[in-house]
Amino acid sequence: MIISSAKPFEEILEILKDEDDIFVVGCNACAAKIHVGGEPEVLEMCQRLEDAGKHVVGWVIPSAACSVASYDSLVEKNPAIKDAKTILVMACGSGVSIVAGVVDVPVYPSNDTVSLGGRTQGEVVPELCAMCGECKIYYFGSVCPKSLCPKHLLNGPCGGSVNGKCEIDSEKDCAWELICNRLEKIGRLDLLDKIWTVDEITE
């Protein structure tokens, strides 16, 4: 799923400072699952905008903001969108773009889109996939170095890790530490020996 985080409300008010008659579009896919665009968040957003003196003309939660078929499909769900002078989309960047493609008023994001990740055991896990278009994750114990390693290193770790943590973030495990642990667990440390040549990557 696409991992997004909610912008601070003050920032949203700032980007909407010259706008009014706002229609809020949520997203019942990724954004709902990580609580930045589902019904509770949309209702809260409408309330907070009203409290801040903005007029909210209505809201809708399509099954996925990135799959909105047409303007008419939004009207069908809530005709109040016809009165909108501004739309606030509570989804990822794709959702914002798709919605903007079917309406004729300014569209703003309420979220910052972070990465392609997931959610498991109650935890949001960011940066699982770099969407490089040539998946070789099975060579790395299904831990993607293109996404998790800030240097995108395929031939092994840099020398910058301290105590198994990433050079750029001491809170984060070094991707290559995770890769090695996983390959050891599945008995495939031999996969580490593969040399990735320049020809094999198109990034």
Partner 1 sequence: MSRTFKDKLTSNDFLITAEVSPPKGTDLADMLSDAELTRGWVDALNVTDNQKAIMRMSPLAVSKALLDGGHEVIMQLTCRDRNRLALQSDLLGAYSMGIRNLCIMTGDHTTKGDHPKARPVYDLDSVQLLSIIKNMHNGYDIAGNPIENPPQFVLGAVTNTDPSKKAQMMKLRKKVKTGIEFMQTQAVYDISMFESFMESIGDIEVPIIAGVIPLRSANMARFMNGNIPGINVPDEIIERMEAAEKPKEEGMAICAEAIKELQKLCRGIHLMPIGKHNNTPTILEMADIRKKQ
What are the residues binding partner 1 (CB under 8 A)?
150-162, 167-168, 176-177, 179-180, 184, 189, 192-193, 195-198, 203
Alpha carbon distances (Å) from 129 to 22, 32, 82, 202: 34, 20, 38, 16
Q: What span, in angstroms and rounded, lies between the C-alpha atoms of 165 and 27?
A: 35
* Residue 167 beta carbon to partner 1: minimum distance, rounded to whole angstroms: 5
* Residue 158 beta carbon to partner 1: minimum distance, rounded to whole angstroms: 4
- Please state the φ and ψ torsions of residue 160, each to the nearest 5 degrees: -95, 0
CB nearer to partner 1: pick between 18 and 193: 193
CB nearer to partner 1: pick between 51 and 190: 190
* Residue 17 beta carbon to partner 1: minimum distance, rounded to whole angstroms: 27
Q: What span, in angstroms and rounded, lies between the C-alpha atoms of 25 and 12?
A: 14
Residue 91 has, within 13 A of its CA and on its CB side, a CA count of 27
Q: Residue 113: in which H helix or E strand, if any?
A: strand 111-120
* Residue 123 beta carbon to partner 1: minimum distance, rounded to whole angstroms: 24
Residue closest to 56 by CA, chosen among 82, 20, 6:
20
CB nearer to partner 1: pick between 77 and 182: 182
DSSP assignment letter at 139? G
CB nearer to partner 1: pick between 103 and 180: 180
* Residue 152 beta carbon to partner 1: minimum distance, rounded to whole angstroms: 6
Q: What span, in angstroms and rounded, lies between the C-alpha atoms of 82 and 103?
A: 10
CB nearer to partner 1: pick between 53 and 159: 159
